[in-house]
Structure 1
Amino acid sequence: MKFSDTDRLSVVSAQAPQVRSAPAPEMTCGEMLVKLLEGYGVEWIFGIPGAHTIELYRGLADARLRHVTPRHEQGAGFMADGYARVTGKPGVCFIITGPGMTNIATAMAQAYADSIPMLVISSVNARHQLGNGNGHLHELPSQRDTVAGFTAFSHTLMSPDELPDVLARAFAVFESARPRPVHIELPLDVITAPAGHLSLARVPMPAKPKAAANAIEQTAERLAQARRPLLLVGGGALAATDEVRALAARLQAPVALTINAKGVLPPDHPLLLGSTQSTRPTRELVREADVVLAVGTELGETDYDVVFDGGFAIDGTLIRIDIDRAQLTRNFPADIAIHADAQQALHALVAALVRKDVALPAADWGAARVVQTRHAVSQTFDAAALAHQRLIETAAATLPDVIMVGDSTQPVYTGNVVYDAAQPRSWFNASTGYGTLGYGLPAAIGARIGAPQRPVVCLIGDGGLQFTLPELGAAVEAGVPVAVVVWNNRGYAEIKKYMVERDITPVGVDIYTPDFVTIARGFGCEARRINNPAALADALREAMTQRVPTLIEIDESQWFEEVRAC
């Protein structure tokens, strides 16, 4: 029998072993995590890759998520915080086991104090190594317990199957409750475990709490009969801007805003008291109010008593609206306590008031009294405060759509009182709540990433800047053109002042100050020194044309001299 060439090829092919392509590897838990985060709309990850987190990065290069590498985990947390404040979305971090978590702890605590949504995803030692004390790399007795006190919850993922439910819990906190940091840690052997069988479907979120109808009706009745109503509005009402304005207009009620609520009323609003609750004239006004409605505010010290004298008081009926049930009983117990989302409750309250005859305010109340009170407050400003005010007003006038991100420094303390932001999410800083140093620079970087179309100015002191100065490198690498305005008084001047006032010989406050301009240029930034408002305006305009940060250093004593001479 003869075979054709075609037949011979067929026989050879049939006898040869068949080569099969290797099956695609199953998706790991780390890869599934990235896919699920994409499904929740996450766009940015702030993190520093390490030996224990590299498996979280598998597939990240092919994902829609973008990554920023800070120079310290604390910087990652502050960047995530700034991003969250301007967008309202959670800032997400990938953090290494052990030292990475203790490094980011301060940033998480600041976010916890200010109710900022932050998702911190970390590695942790393998499941069979947890808590055994054998000295494994990066081991803590309990990493989860270490951060539990400044998170909404901290969870150890003991199986990939838990991942969808735990992420759903986290985003439920961010979207339906008081937003605060959440920590999820993945043991090393769980990160690499198979997870391709998990569903990518997003879990429906629970609704935000709604105000009880009888509580709204009771509140509407009290407010309708009030002759001297007043509103205290906090950061929990950022999404209720329209409702706050409608309620204030209907009641002709003066409105005081917390620092994180600046912009809920615009600067030229006739009923805006500003954020002056720690000043004597505004405190007197609050005590005269017969009904006070506090919305989304802790009524805490850093907004109502920054002079720490215990002088803020409410003598009238107090009604509180808060998404955090426990907060309704803290600081100032309410006569009427409403557990609800601020926007929903205020919308219902305005509707209830439309159905009622609202009493006319007292003759000396409303807009006329606001003008009088604001004038009285302005008379309390000393020369230093006026010089700080000039700096902030120059920045706002030069960059009308500006976001100003502050550290704990003297111009920021002044700005908390004197400055009224043009819109919400445009003024925030670390002097509220937890009150850390070093926040301003990385938070400003995160803010510009979250709002790339808006100018961002960081206001920071020479002392605070030295906490997180290397983040200039992260900003250059990421191409984030923030303006970093450094108020240089060569030390911790505010603390030195406190020491002198208490007859304590100053120690440890006159610190060495480096050449910031040279250092900034070494990082690849633009940098210059200026000492008067006109030069500041020029420097800020130039900064917004750059693709890298611009450091603008101001010598305190020279600025004071120039402003006095103007």
Structure 2
Amino acid sequence: MTCAELLIRLLRDTYGLDTVFGIPGVHTIELYRSLEGGDVAGIRHVSPRHEQGAGFMADGYARATGRPGVCFIITGPGMTNIATAMGQALADSIPMLVISSVNRRATLGMGQGRLHELPSQQQLIAGVSRFSHTLLDPCQLPEVLARAFAVFRSERPGPVHIEIPIDLFDAPVATPNHWLAPTLYRPAPDPQGLAQAVEWLTAAERPLVLLGGGCVDAPDAARQLVERLDAPTVTTINAKGLLGQHHPLDLGANAALPALRELAANADVILAVGTELGETDYDVVFDDGFALTGRLIRIDLDAQQLVRNQALALGLVGDAGSSLELLVERLPRPMQKGGRERTALALAKLDLANDPAFAPFVPLYAALAAAMPEAILVGDSTAPVYAGNHLVSQPAPRRYFNASTGYGTLGYGLPAAIGAQLGQPALPVIALVGDGGVMFTLSELATAVEERLPVVVLLWHNAGYEEIRRFMDAHGVEHLGVDLKAPDFLTLARGFGCRATRVDSPTSLSAALASRPLDGPMLIEVDATGWQRSLATPQ
């Protein structure tokens, strides 16, 4: 068995992975020999049109399924291309395994001008990964992969990079004695700390719960806990759907808005689980105005995260899901804390549907929900997504995510939606993109067509980078580089073999959604100016 064959067998048989995203290169052809067939078949290879797209697809696959997304990437430019996608996954704690080639062992660090050579590819990528490892002995591959999956399954996840010198891919290696993966458990919080948390929460008069993306695999425990505490609950962008749709204690991802800031400042005990308490979830107005003055209890897999961003009273290191379950066991009876009333009052003050910043998108999301109620919504950084972060309520977790959090890259929405569709073929998927950001990765439409994926690409066309224009206006900066000349998106999409249409009202959007194909993608371009005009015109 060669090292490349062993890698494929370990991914498939030991770790149960079935999909790989990658673009072949002259340095990785031995990996592709191992994917040809025979006893190492059974892994689906998806070919994006750019390595950044590969990374975003792996990210979307991982968020939609909970399984690591895997990429095969060539030396040098392949790795610099995927680095942005790894940065987004690192910021949002998304499990991603990036396997790359690197130059032969004898030439590493020599600066001889070899094909795709970097001074140190491993050092370059270490900054956007949980760890980056150069394999120097093929016999160590099982151990290095086990380390990667220990990160994915037992600590705060994120991208892991393993680079294999090209002279090792066809090197012989002994067949392992067994193909079983080790059984790993995540840490549970200290019992004494849990007892202290229960004591404070029980005595609280105005408790508040903050639930982040770390909780997505424990929706039942999360719902039971907040109901027993009778506590208003912020569910962040990556935690949407955790409590179910329109739960009476769910404040949504609205922590940056005045009514919720007031509620948070008045809370006497705050429980934050699986959330960074980061800027893009709690302070999207960027004024550091989200203040917690009560006792803050935090639970997180990452001990260092416990002391970031807000003053801590009690910190517990542990898995979010098991911690929620343990808290539920220690709080057997529902309390009466006025949580539903406090939640309803805060939401009434927000009045999101009538907020001028969000109101134009209320009928958009109503049309999407009516046509595709089970859809996974995958977004880029674009106006409908900024509004959806506040407006959307999903029936389950892992059905709403986007690149407006954390790293905040552009070009994410389309390829990540493709990854989500590959991971969850039974669910419809909608990519929410803008005319500016989609140009970063528009070529991935070819992948969606090739794979016959029924992704709906909803393209909000407002003629440029609207969010940056607003910031320029607010700071007295003249528009430069933001008023873009757009291509004919319908012609481009049809050139890829993708069905495409243009709409300018909720009625025409509903009609387009009703005619979407089920054997390939469809691009729906929304004329933002026409959309606004239709809402202002009496129907």
2:462 counterpart residue number:
489
2:19 matches 1:44: yes
Shift of 1:396: 1.6
1:104-503 aligned within 5 A: 104-354=82-332, 360-361=336-337, 365-378=338-351, 381-503=354-476
In the TM superposition, what whole-angstrom CA distance separates every residue of 1:521-542 from its partner, at most 9, and x where no partner exists?
0000000001111221221232
| Paired residue total | 534
Pair 537,200 (structure 1): closer, same or farther in 2 beyond 3 Å = farther
The 3 A distance-change label for structure 1 pair 557 and 158 is same
Range moving further from structure 2, 194-203 or 505-514: 194-203
Q: Which amino acid aligns with 1:286?
A: A
- Large movers: runs of 4+ above 4 Å: none
Report Cα offsets for 1:74-102 as digits up to 9, x if no partner. 00000000000000000000000000000
C-alpha distance after superposition, 1:135-189 (max 9, x if no partner): 1000001101101011111000001111000011111111111110000000011
Match of 1:22 in 2: none
What one-letter code is carried by the residue in structure 1 that aligns with 2:35?
L
1:1-150 alignment to 2 at 5 Å?
Answer: 27-39=1-13, 40-62=15-37, 63-150=41-128
> Highest CA radius of gyration, 1 or 2?
1
Q: Is contact 2:139–2:174 with CA below 8 Å preserved after alignment? A: no
Instruction: Look up the equivalent residue of 1:511 and give its one-letter code.
Output: L
Give % identity: 54
SS of residue in 2 equivalent to 1:481: coil
Of 483, 504, 510, which aligns to 1:510? 483
In structure 2, distance between residues paired with 1:68 and 1:195: 27
The residue number in structure 2 matching 1:560 is 532
CA contact (8 A) 1:237 1:295 kept: yes
> Cα offset for 1:380?
8.4
Please say if residues 278 and 312 of structure 1, whose CA atoms lie closer than 8 Å, have aligned partners that are also in contact. yes
C-alpha distance in 2 between matches for 1:360 and 1:504: 52
User: SS of the counterpart of 1:93?
Assistant: strand
- What secondary structure does 2:272 align onto? strand
Q: Counterparts of 1:266 and 1:295 in 2: how far apart (Å)?
A: 17
Give the secondary structure class of the aligned counterpart of 2:358.
helix
Query: In structure 1, how many angstroms separate the alpha carbons of the residues matched to 2:357 and 2:194?
Result: 45
Task: Show CA shifts across 1:209-262 (max 9, x none).
Answer: 011110111111111111111100000011121111111111110111110000
Q: Give yes or no for contact 1:389–1:411 (8 Å, CA) kept in 2.
A: no
Moved more, 40-49 or 56-65: 56-65
Secondary structure of 1:239 counterpart: coil
In the alignment, is the contact (CA less than 8 A) between 2:230 and 2:335 conserved in 1?
no
Task: Tell whether the 8 Å contact from 2:88 to 2:408 is kept in structure 1 after alignment.
Answer: yes
Runs of 5+ consecutive residues of structure 1 not aligned to the other structure: 1-26
Aligned counterparts of 1:282 and 1:465: Cα–Cα separation in 2: 33
RMSD: 1.2
Native 8 Å contact 2:352 2:391 kept in 1: no
Distance 2:387 2:4 in 1: 46
| Aligned partners of 2:240 and 2:396 also within 8 Å | yes
2:353–2:359 Cα contact (<8 Å) kept? no
Q: CA deviation at 1:265?
A: 1.1
Contact 1:161 1:198 in 2 (8 A): no
Determine the C-alpha separation between the residues in 1 that align with 2:67 and 2:405: 20
Q: Which residue of 2 aligns with 1:24?
A: none
Shift of 1:61: 2.4
In the alignment, the residues of structure 2 paired with residue 403 and residue 225 of structure 1 have an alpha-carbon distance, to the nearest angstrom, of: 39
| Alignment partners' CA distance in 2, 1:143 and 1:393 | 47
For 1:378, the aligned partner's letter is D
**Cα offset for 1:346?**
1.4
Cα deviation digits, residues 344-381 of structure 1 (max 9, x gap): 11111111122xx77642xxx31112111101112685
Output the amino acid matched with 1:91: G
Q: Distance in 2 between matches of 1:82 and 1:379?
A: 28
Q: Which amino acid aligns with 1:440?
A: G
TM-score, normalization by structure 2: 0.97
Secondary structure, in 3 states, of the residue corresponding to 1:122? strand
Task: Give CA-to-partner distance per residue, 1:267-322, whole Å, 9 cap, x none.
Answer: 22111111110000011001111110000000000000000011100011000000
1:382 to 1:269, Cα distance in 2 relative to 1, 3 A: closer
| Aligned-partner Cα distance in 2 for 1:207–1:271 | 31
Counterpart Cα distance in 1 of 2:414 and 2:285? 26
The 10-residue stretch of structure 1 (190-199 or 74-83) with the greater mean CA deviation from structure 2: 190-199
- Unaligned 5+ segments in structure 2 are none
Q: Is the 8 A contact 1:227 1:360 kept in 2?
A: no
Give the whole-Å Cα distance in 2 for the aligned partners of 1:308 and 1:328. Answer: 21
Tell me how far apart the structure 1 counterparts of residues 31 and 291 of structure 2 sit (CA, whole Å): 50
Residues 151 and 335 from structure 1, CA distance in 2 versus in 1: closer, same or farther, beyond 3 angstroms? same
Secondary structure in 2 aligned to 1:560? helix
For the 8 Å contact 1:224–1:358, the answer to whether it is kept is no
Counterpart contact for 1:403–1:427, Cα < 8 Å: yes
